[in-house]
Structure 1
């Protein structure tokens, strides 16, 4: 059985990988994050504190546990925060990758790196893996820099790009668009939603499954991982309203420009998923099926 080490395991994706491994076995799991383990179940895997900004600690932890694969989920993903603090963005999204690469190359460990649709400019999505990157934000730029480092390395790697991940984490410390829209509409709070950005939202469970498939199939290269349903952000929020029978009249459609966000967003992303379906056996939920998964989890 392969041993995998996950960075950023307190985050949504990290928690979903833990959940999956505990339910299904498949691999031996070591989870790592800054500070204490926030996942409620503590048995069935090992946990180590690891700050990806501390190269000595990263090296020591990986040498201690000797994983076959590292799944690197830790990153600064707040697009406006990356624009405002480029130094921190660089350290978390680029320098951490360089640290992991040096250890993975030396120890012959597969690196599975999470990237984003924001590497594209959004002019002509949905995109294939080989399409030219052209980020419009510093977050996207940092992710391109990390991809270049990885592709120029001698490491065995798989880069999994993904889009607008949604799901429920145990401590609910961070929201996502589905939970935000549902909570606001349940309170009958008016919300502004952009109608000129198109995405293919990704259920966190599907992304966790793709990570494990990439380990099991010893995947190499770049893979596009998302849901299959292509929609505008306004459509997405309307679908959330429909699913939970909430009032549409609180949804106020606006243009991206009117938000005056520090970082620019790509207009139309979305992915062609053929490669992941063929090579990895990836089989995502539909958006409605994803909402059912969330509903069942909320019901406990």
Structure 2
């Protein structure tokens, strides 16, 4: 029996690295590969193929097909599951360059490449909570999508394209993803680590009290992706899913910072509450895009980690990583 093939698009990013590590640790019966846009990272994971890929031009997809076809451990060249984590995901950057946001975030070339195969693959696509307008609490999947910025609009267009052109897909609307740093540290600022670093200075810091999200612990998101992947590989039944993927807690930035302060023993007096409307970030941001995750729990069976526990686990992992580094 041939190995099943899983391709992670955007494997050098934060979620992509966590997925690669988890898949490699959990199942040696997979042919695992990932794509990268810039320089590839060196992973302590054996037998993982890496490919350069430009999502704007889709240059690189043919090389992936050829490599899978030539692989001695694979029969055929089609990936069974493609997990698309790649995106231009900084809202301000998307606002400044809408053309780039649309060309990268709407995976038309990737979908066409997948549909060129005779046999169906499963596309797991990472979307965002920013598809919602932000005028109420706990959005459900069937609620209308009214994004307020280019990033959200690009993600709505991606969802519509995938649902219209893919036979099998799972679209995951993720909230803020937080958790431990990756094997090869990502350059972007991670939310819990950043809050810890600024509060550790002992100086007052402003945090928004009126923007609400349902941050998701990265290991919960990874677990959901693995469950959907394993179900597809085992059952190969038609999949057309849209899921909110958040944590169980609706929190503001103030409440997030307070959780970090409590975990680390910092004074909460350092946390100064300000309105999101008082800061010009160069892009409109939705006020409340907290999500109802009932469908996620029912579909995958996972029990998402509460925010305070996720903060504790994140900080413990960071401390362990620092202590293991030799001077």
TM-score range, shorter chain: over 0.9
How far residue 24 of structure 1 moved from its aligned partner, in angstroms, is: 1.2
How far residue 63 of structure 1 moved from its aligned partner, in angstroms, is: 5.2
How far residue 52 of structure 1 moved from its aligned partner, in angstroms, is: 2.1
| Closer, same or farther: CA 232–278 of 1 in aligned 2, 3 Å | same
Match of 2:194 among 167, 176, 180: 180
Q: Name the counterpart of 2:222.
A: 208
Match of 1:23 among 15, 25, 29: 25
What is the distance in 2 between the residues matched to 1:117 and 1:106? Answer: 30
TM-score (normalised: structure 1): 0.94
Task: Flag structure 1 segments of 5+ consecutive residues without an equivalent.
Answer: none
Contact in 2 for aligned 1:22/1:44 (Cα 8 Å): no
Contact in 2 for aligned 1:83/1:139 (Cα 8 Å): yes
Root-mean-square deviation over aligned CA pairs:
1.7
What is the distance in 1 between the residues matched to 2:94 and 2:168? Answer: 28
What is the distance in 2 between the residues matched to 1:59 and 1:267? Answer: 42
How far residue 54 of structure 1 moved from its aligned partner, in angstroms, is: 3.0
| Closer, same or farther: CA 259–34 of 1 in aligned 2, 3 Å | same
Contact in 2 for aligned 1:217/1:280 (Cα 8 Å): no
Match of 2:61 among 58, 73, 80: 58
The range that moved more, 85-94 or 126-135, is 85-94
What is the distance in 1 between the residues matched to 2:199 and 2:30? Answer: 40
Contact in 2 for aligned 1:104/1:110 (Cα 8 Å): no
Match of 1:274 among 282, 294, 309: 294
Alignment of 1:46-125 (within 5 A): 46-62=49-65, 64-65=67-68, 66-94=78-106, 97-107=107-117, 108-125=120-137
What is the distance in 1 between the residues matched to 2:292 and 2:317? Answer: 29
What is the distance in 1 between the residues matched to 2:244 and 2:231? Answer: 16
Q: Name the counterpart of 1:156.
A: 168
Q: Name the counterpart of 2:11.
A: 9
- SS at 1:217's partner residue? helix
Match of 2:313 among 274, 289, 293: 293
What is the distance in 1 between the residues matched to 2:99 and 2:149? Answer: 14
Task: Flag structure 2 segments of 5+ consecutive residues without an equivalent.
Answer: 69-77, 233-238, 322-327
Q: Name the counterpart of 1:45.
A: 48
User: Deviations 1:73-130 (Å, cap 9, x if unpaired)?
Assistant: 0001101111111121112112xx0011101122222111100010001112211111
User: Deviations 1:19-67 (Å, cap 9, x if unpaired)?
Assistant: 1112211643111112333253141422222222232412431453221
What is the distance in 2 between the residues matched to 1:197 and 1:62? Answer: 44
TM-score (normalised: structure 2): 0.86
Contact in 2 for aligned 1:116/1:140 (Cα 8 Å): yes
How far residue 289 of structure 1 moved from its aligned partner, in angstroms, is: 2.2
What is the distance in 1 between the residues matched to 2:302 and 2:35? Answer: 26
Contact in 2 for aligned 1:7/1:32 (Cα 8 Å): yes
Greater Rg by CA: 2
What is the distance in 2 between the residues matched to 1:118 and 1:229? Answer: 17
